[in-house]
Amino acid sequence: METSVEQRINTWLEEDYEPKFKDEIRRLQKENPQELTEAFYRTLEFGTGGLRGIMGVGTNRMNRYTVGFATQGLANYLLKCFKSQKIKVAISHDSRLQSREFAEITADILSANKIEVFLFEDLRPTPELSFAVRHLQCQAGVMVTASHNPREYNGYKVYWGDGGQLVPPHDKNVIAEVNNITTLKQVKWTRNEKLIHIIGEDVDKVYLDKIAALTLNPAAIKKAKNLKIVYTPLHGTGITMVPKALNMYGFKDIYLVEEQAIPDGNFPTVKSPNPEEKSALELALKKADEVDADLILATDPDADRVGIAIRDADGKMRLLNGNQTGTLLFHYMLSQWQHNGKLTGDQFVVKTIVTTDLIKDIATDFNVECKDVLTGFKYIAEAILQNEGTKTFVCGGEESYGYLIGDFVRDKDAVSACCLIAEMAAFYLANGKTGHKLLAQVLNDIYKKYGFYKEDLLSLTKTGKAGVEEIQAMMANYRNHPPKKLGGQPVIMMKDYSVSKSFDFANKTNTIIDLPTSNVLQFFTADGSKVTVRPSGTEPKIKFYFSVVENAGKRANIDSIEETLIARIDKLKKDIAK
């Protein structure tokens, strides 16, 4: 065991940590030294989604002390930034085990530092927390959640005054303050009740009113009265807002997946509460067939991501990936803005660099600027902030099932996305695309007009200290020895976001990438294929994103084109994994 690890362990044994934590350390010393090393080999750091880790004892785990140290660090930074101002922070949490406890601890410490706190009375979605920061004119916000991670995880997302997650320099500055907290005595633990305000329905109402104002086609909803929707919150916070919002839009034929409608941090009906995974939607798919539903909506535990399923041409429910849902949603939004005469030339949309380029093609067709940003919705929020007052934001999204419509929230918002996706389905149903041809036909029409883009994701899990080191070695190898061919095609360009440079191998030139640095690599081949490699900022994984495209034209056989594209992706996977 490394000396630094032993020192951290001894600190927990010698200082005034709770007896139950000390007992657990002693048990692990006897029974599982490797797990003990994993728990203490480092201190949790902020990634693209903030602080996130497995719950348990240790500096590398989510517990009252890592939450306490993070909160004191945040408090210290806020006190430095806003010396002469009254500081306010909003706090919410999801349905995970210990989430309420961590939210209360956060409130305790902030109030002890003479910071005014607005704490939600009970669980609420992440987007509502982002909204509350702006609505209550707070300088910061905290959302206790591990999003779609498995049940053993929890997390701590920090928001700045614009309602977006921390971006440079604030993210690094906060963690620097956290790293300066080395003893329990540095943390102010004693709650100041006078500075803590409980909020709930008052904020709910304003948030829902804002979502109601996003509607583009209330007439279509009234016309498509027979649209049937199955909704599951996957045991999370979505149950507090999504059914209300859908009802408010005029959707009455909503069928809840009752087994998953009760918030439960054990997530008893799923292996992982992730709407990206088919297994999480098995009960919803079953329910949809029972009631002959047209649409499935599924939100993750903190209701910032939404997965959907639609009826395909053969009448079977078909799960869409994040790129497909985003494509449909962006196309619907822009087409309706155009129809309503709202596209005046100063609008823009935003996507991440790993999200389908089909969205950029659609935006170009509507003469709307499409901005590319780094992975992480905080960069979409940053783009909105940078263009505030000069350009109008329409919508933003990323391939990992996160979308945002309008700018009153500054994080992905599954509540508003559910409403607009349902409205989109109602619009097409009301305008001649009936039965099994509803959204599936629209997606095929988009492919025929703009090109058939196919994307896929390969994630390799590398847990623990050894996993972190292995991922670092893999990235170094790709960077220093880029592949000459992928999928049988020559690699003609590499983008290395760690140095903000694009290397054109064919012309032997390089150009600057106007984005912040990030540990991401992209490889482009002669046939238009793209492979992106990046370590996850929230999970112990290295991710490979694949994108291929073929001109579909007016060819009717979309299925045969898809088979060709899948084969191309399979070749890319084999080559990049060598």
Burial class of residue 368 in the structure, from the number of CB atoms within 10 Å of its CB (0-12 exposed, 13-18 middle, 19+ buried) = buried
CA distances from 28 to 18, 57, 495 (A): 16, 10, 44
**Helix pair 322-339, 358-365: axis angle to 10 deg:** 10
d(CA 436, CA 429): 10
* Cα–chain center distance at 36: 30
What region does 56 belong to: left with phi over 0, alpha with psi -120 to 50, or beta? Answer: left
Question: Among 75, 74, 71, which Cα is nearest to 104's?
Answer: 71
* 303 in Cβ contact with 414 (< 8 Å): yes
Structure tokens at 393: 């934001």
Q: Is 92 a catalytic residue?
A: no
Residue 565: Cβ-neighbour burial (10 angstroms; 0-12, 13-18, 19+): buried
The catalytic residue among 147, 400, 416, 529 is 147
Neighbours of 528 (CB within 10 A): 15
Q: Is 403 helix (H, G, I), strand (E, B) or coil?
A: strand
Q: Are 466 and 373 in contact (CB under 8 A)?
A: no
Q: Where are the beta strands (DSSP E) in 353-451?
A: 369-373, 392-398, 402-405
Which one, of 399, 563, 544, 578, lies nearest residue 457 by Cα? Answer: 544
CA dist list (Å): 197 to 32, 56, 108, 194: 43, 29, 12, 8
Rounded (10°) CA dihedral 551, 556, 559, 560: -70
Q: How many CB atoms lie within 10 A of CB 49?
A: 23
Q: Mind telling me the catalytic residues? A: 147
